Amino acid sequence: MTPTIRIQSAPFDPAHEAALIEEGRRDIGAIVSFTGLCRDEDGALSALELEHYPGMAEAEIARVAEEALARWPLCGLTVIHRHGRILPGEKIVLVVTAARHRGEAFAAAEFLMDYLKTRAPFWKKEHRADGDVGDWVEAKAKDDAAAERWSK
Amino acid sequence: MKALYFAWVRERIGRAEEELSPPPEVATVGELIAWLKSRDEAYALAFENAAVIRTAVDKAHVRHETPIAGAREIAFFPPMTGG
């Protein structure tokens, strides 16, 4: 199957994306949909600015998707990642996996998110509610550890 | 070759991209970083802690010991924070 991969500034609708995978199929037993949202950090954050590397972002997510397809027999896979200015409460990233059984759909979705965090070329900059342009978000060691466990 | 800079690497250098013509003895991505670092204070600051800098050649991740021969596009950026 060919995964659907989109890098876009526009919002997306997770329910619509899952429905597109399901449509006309009778072999799918499980769909897992993960949505990552922008938090307001208890009111301190007014927006996130997501910078990305056009071309590589698509290519790298495609490589991660191929790896997921090689590991689990998926019936459907969609990854959408937004860039640009994103407000608290808005959606940033979507992973939808479909499989015959839930174990594969859950595992593939988690694998994809763990790998996207450490390998997809996106960077978040914070805009603070007090008007300051804050710092670049720092990469977290726990995200590296989360991705690392799949290589064991 | 074309160099691309992202996030705080871009901000510290003060530009998003440029054309580079390193001398022939610069053979690897790591050597290219060392060469850039010696250019001026802005590059020195951007590559101050070279070990944290992630690199890509022609839109694929590479390590610092990767040769740059034949590379069309080399990108330098901080650890990624997407998702």
The amino acid at B20: L
The amino acid at A18: A
CB contacts < 8 A, A to B, total 73
Which residue of chain A has the CA closest to B59?
A: A56
From residue B74, give the alpha-carbon distance in Å to each of A118, A123, B23, B29, B60: 19, 17, 16, 8, 9
Chain A CB contacts of B8 under 8 Å are 136
* pTM (two decimals): 0.95
Q: Please report, to the nearest 10 degrees, the dihedral formed by the alpha carbons of residues A38, A42, A47, A53 taken in order.
A: -50
Contact between A120 and B56 using a beta-carbon 8 Å cutoff: no
Q: Average pLDDT, stretch B6-26?
A: 97
Q: φ, ψ for residue A64 (rounded to 5)?
A: -65, -40
Q: φ, ψ for residue B19 (rounded to 5)?
A: -95, 130
B21-73 pLDDT, tens digit per residue, is 999 999 999 999 999 999 999 999 999 999 999 999 999 999 999 999 999 99
From residue A103, give the alpha-carbon distance in Å to each of A3, A70, A110, A129: 19, 15, 11, 41
| Per-residue confidence (pLDDT) for residue B72, from 0 to 100 | 97
| Per-residue confidence (pLDDT) for residue B70, from 0 to 100 | 94
Three-class SS state of B2: strand
Which CATH class, in words, describes the domain spanning A4-151?
Answer: alpha beta
| Per-residue confidence (pLDDT) for residue A134, from 0 to 100 | 81
Contact A22, A28 (CB under 8 A): yes
pLDDT of A152 above 80: no
| Per-residue confidence (pLDDT) for residue A97, from 0 to 100 | 98
This complex has an ipTM of 0.96
Q: Is the dihedral of CA A85, A89, A90, A96 positive or negative?
A: positive
A6-56 pLDDT, tens digit per residue, is 999 999 999 999 999 999 999 999 999 999 999 999 999 999 999 999 999
| Per-residue confidence (pLDDT) for residue A141, from 0 to 100 | 86
A107-141 pLDDT, tens digit per residue, is 999 999 999 999 999 999 999 999 888 899 998 88
| Per-residue confidence (pLDDT) for residue A133, from 0 to 100 | 80
Report the distance separating Cα A111 and Cα A104, nearest Å: 10
| Per-residue confidence (pLDDT) for residue A118, from 0 to 100 | 93
Chain A CB contacts of B61 under 8 Å are 60, 119
Query: What is the CATH T-level fold of the domain B2-77, as seen in this structure?
Result: Ubiquitin-like (UB roll) (3.10.20)
